[in-house]
Amino acid sequence: MCGIVGYVGAKPAAPILVDGLARLEYRGYDSAGVAVLGPSEIRLHRDAVRVRELEASLPKRFAGKTGIGHTRWATHGVPSQRNAHPQLSADGRVAVVHNGIIDNASQLRAELAADGVELTSDTDTEVLAHLIARAHTSDTTTLEQAVLATLDRIEGTYGLAVLDRAHPDRIVVARNGSPIILGIGDREMHVASDTAALVRYTKQVVHLDDGELATLKADGYQTFTRDARTTKTAVTVDWDTSDYGSDGHAHFMHKEIAEQPDSVRRVLKGRLDERFHTVRLGGLEMDARELREFRRVKILGCGSAYYAGQAGAQFIEEVARIPADAEPASEFRYRNPVIEKDTLYVAVSQSGETYDTLVAVQELKRKGGRVIGLVNAVGSSIARECDGGVYLHAGPEVAVASTKALTNMLVGFALLGLHLGRIRDVSPADGRRLITALQALPEQIERILADEDHLAAVAKDLAQAPSLFFVGRTRGFPVAREGAQKLKEISYRHAEAYQTSELKHGPLALVGPELPTVAIVPDDELLERNLGALQEITARSGPLVVVTHDGVDLGVVPAHVIAVPKSEPELDPLLLTIPLQLLAYHAALTLGHDVDKPRNLAKSVTVE
Ligand code: G6P
C-alpha cells in the first residue's frame, strides 16, 4: 500500500527520502515521487517507476533540506506521472503526499474546477494541495491553520504530509485512519507511514492518533488537534535496519521462513511458567477473575491472520473449552454484529495497520466490547486501540506472503488458549504436556526446514498443475486454507481448500488425473477418516501429496509424502503449516514469479 516519508533537518533531503521509499517498497506500489523545498520553489520529481529508477533519474539540481516522498498504490486514476504523489497546488506553493481515500473528492474537484482551478491529475489527493494553498486567506495564515481548514472540508481517511514554499522550516502532517509515525532525530525530524523507513535514522518514534496533526521542524515537533496541543510519549522501536536486509537469502520470504525457529523462541521467551505449568501474559491487562467471566471468544483478522485465527479458535475451544470462532474482520465490520459483554474479542494482525481489522476493533470498542490484540508491530494502530494484548515478536516481516508472523500468531493463540484453560479446567499435567510441546517447536521447525530440497522437488511437480485442492479436517482445515492461500498468492495457481469431510459432498466431482490434492493427514484421532478420503481420491486417479507424520501407514501410494515431526495434537497444525510455505515458495520460483512482491497484493492494506 502507499507509503509516506518526510525529512526536515540540516542534510540534503532527497537521498534520505529515496532511502526511506526504498524501505517501504515491500508494501507494494506502482509509482513513486519526492518533493524538496529549494531556495525559492518546490522541486518535484515523480513517475510511475520503481524507486531505483526514480533515484537514478533525479535532476542534478534537487537540493533542499526539507522534503516529502511517496510510493503510490493506485486508487483514483491509473499509475502515471501526473497521478503520482507529491501533488502540487496550482500555484506551486504547496505539495502534498497522502495515503487513504478522500470520499468527497469528486465534489471538491467539481467545486475547484468551477472556481477556475485547472486540475492536472485524476487523484483525490490533488484537491488537498489546492485547498491548502487556497486556505491561506491572509499573509498571517499559518500552514497549520490552512491544513486544519482544509481537513474540515474533507470526508474520508488520510495520513498526509504537507510542504509549503512559504514555510520552508517545517512539514505539517495529519492522521485520520492511515498511520503517521514521527521519528525523532538529532537536530532533525523524520516522518513515515511505517517504522521500516525510520529505523535507520532513529529508534525514538511517536505514533499520531486519529484526529491528530503535527508540525515537524529540525529542532523538534509539536502535536495538536483541532482544539488543543497534545502531549505524546516517544516509544523505542527495537527493530533494526539489519532486520530489513535479506541476509544472503535470495528472497525475504525465504529469509523469514528460515527465521522461524528463532522467532518462535522469541514469542515464547519469558512467557512459559514451568513451575505452575501455565503461561504469563502481562500485556493482557486482565486478571484471572476477569478472564474467567468470558463465555465466548471471537477472533477477527484478515487474510492469513484470519486463517491463523481459525486455527487459534480451535485451539482455544479444544483446550480451554470456551466456544470460540474466527471471522474475517472485513466482513464483521459491515454487518452490525451483536457485541456481547461476556465475549472476549481478539484482533490478530501482523502489521497492526490493516484497516478492516482496525475499524472492526473501533466498532467493538464503540459498543463496549473487550478486545485484545495479537499483533506483531509494536505501537501500531491496532495494538494501541486494543485494551491489552500479546505481542508476537516475529520481527519485521517484509515479504507480502506471511510466514514467520503467521507461525507466531499460532503460537500466540496457543499461549492465550493455555492461559485461559489453566484458569479454568486444564490440569497442571495437561499444562505441562502443552508447555513441553511448545518448547520443542523451534527444534522441530528446524527439522522441517532441513527437508527443503525434497519440498522444492514436490513444488516443481505441483507448479505444473493449473488447479489444486488442499484438504484438511477440523484442526487440519485452517492448515489447508492457509496452504492454498499461500500458493495462490505467490504462484498464481488456482488452489482451493475444502474440509476433507466435504469432499464427497461436491468437490470430488472434480478429482481426476488433472487435479492434484494436497491432503493434511495428521496422526491423530481422525486418522482413519482421513485415510478413507485418500482412498476415494486415489480411486479416481487423483494425484496426491500427503502432509503427515512419520510412521503413518497411508494405505495408498501418493505421488509425494511430506512427513513432519509430531507435536501434541492441538499443536500439530503449526508444524503442518511450515512445509506448505516452502511448497508455495518453490512453486513460485519454478514459475518465475516475484516471490516477495506478488502482483495485485500489498503487504498491509491500510485503505478501505
Ligand atoms: C494483506 C496481505 C496478507 C495479510 C493480510 C492481513 O491482505 O496481503 O498477506 O495476511 O493483509 O495483514 P495483517 O498485517 O493484518 O496481518
Provide the CATH number for the domain around residue 536: 3.40.50.10490
3-state class (DSSP) for residue 159 = strand
pLDDT for 177: 83
Residue 399 grid cell: 515479504
Contacts of 234 (CB under 8 A, 6+ apart): 184, 204, 205, 206
Is any atom of ligand 1 closer than 6 Å to the C-beta of 402?
Answer: yes
- 606 in a domain, yes or no? no
Q: What is the phi/psi pair of residue 483, to 5°?
A: -65, -45
Residues 491-506, mean pLDDT to the nearest whole number: 93
Q: How far is the CA of 408 from the centre of ligand 1 (A)?
A: 14
- 76 in a domain, yes or no? yes
- 25 in a domain, yes or no? yes
Q: Which of 234-243, 464-473, 566-575, 583-592 has the lowest mean pLDDT?
A: 234-243
Residues 313-338, mean pLDDT to the nearest whole number: 95
Alpha helix ranges (H) inside 4-50: 13-24
pLDDT for 240: 74
d(CA 59, CA 265): 48
Active site residue 302: no
Q: How far is the CA of 188 from the centre of ligand 1 (A)?
A: 33
Nearest CA to ligand 1 atom 7: 303
Element (H, E) at 303: none
Q: How far is the CA of 329 from the centre of ligand 1 (A)?
A: 11
Which residue segment(s) compose the domain that 135 sits in? Answer: 2-243
Residues 146-171, mean pLDDT to the nearest whole number: 94
pLDDT confidence band for 298 (50 / 70 / 90): very high
- pLDDT-above-90 percentage for the chain: 83
Q: How far is the CA of 488 from the centre of ligand 1 (A)?
A: 14
Is any atom of ligand 1 closer than 6 Å to the C-beta of 576?
Answer: no
Is any atom of ligand 1 closer than 6 Å to the C-beta of 400?
Answer: yes
Residues 49-78, mean pLDDT to the nearest whole number: 91
Mutating to test ligand 1, I would choose from 306, 605, 606 the residue with most ligand atoms within 8 A of its C-beta, which is 605
Residue 8 pLDDT > 90:
yes
Nearest CA to ligand 1 atom 5: 303
Sequence letter at residue 91: D
48 to each of 20, 180, 255, 442, 483, how far by Cα in Å?
17, 24, 29, 43, 33
Mean pLDDT of the chain: 93
Residues 250-265, mean pLDDT to the nearest whole number: 95
Atom of ligand 1 nearest to the CA of 402: 9
Q: Which of 22, 44, 51, 55 is nearest to 93 (CA)?
A: 44
Residue 22 pLDDT > 70:
yes
- 216 in a domain, yes or no? yes
Q: How far is the CA of 319 from the centre of ligand 1 (A)?
A: 27
- 521 in a domain, yes or no? yes
Nearest CA to ligand 1 atom 11: 604
- 312 in a domain, yes or no? no
Residue 258 grid cell: 528460515
Residue 444 pLDDT > 70:
yes
DSSP letter assigned to residue 352: S
pTM: 0.84
Q: Which of 256-265, 408-417, 569-578, 591-600 has the lowest mean pLDDT?
A: 591-600
pLDDT confidence band for 40 (50 / 70 / 90): confident
Residue 26 pLDDT > 70:
yes
Residues 485-490, mean pLDDT to the nearest whole number: 95
Domain count, the chain: 2
3-state class (DSSP) for residue 196 = helix
Is any atom of ligand 1 closer than 6 Å to the C-beta of 173?
Answer: no
Element (H, E) at 69: strand 66-72
Active site residue 217: no
Residues 11-25, mean pLDDT to the nearest whole number: 94
Residues 338-345, mean pLDDT to the nearest whole number: 95
Residue 1 pLDDT > 70:
no
Is any atom of ligand 1 closer than 6 Å to the C-beta of 606?
Answer: no
Q: How far is the CA of 303 from the centre of ligand 1 (A)?
A: 5
Which tens digit of pLDDT belongs to each residue from 204-234? 999 999 999 999 999 999 999 999 999 999 9
Provide the CATH number for the domain around residue 131: 3.60.20.10
Residue 242 pLDDT > 90:
no
Asked which of 224, 243, 262 is the last residue of a domain, the reply is 243
- 118 in a domain, yes or no? yes
Asked which of 219, 243, 267 is the last residue of a domain, the reply is 243
Is any atom of ligand 1 closer than 6 Å to the C-beta of 302?
Answer: yes
pLDDT for 203: 92
- 154 in a domain, yes or no? yes
Residue 75 pLDDT > 90:
no
Asked which of 243, 272, 293 is the last residue of a domain, the reply is 243
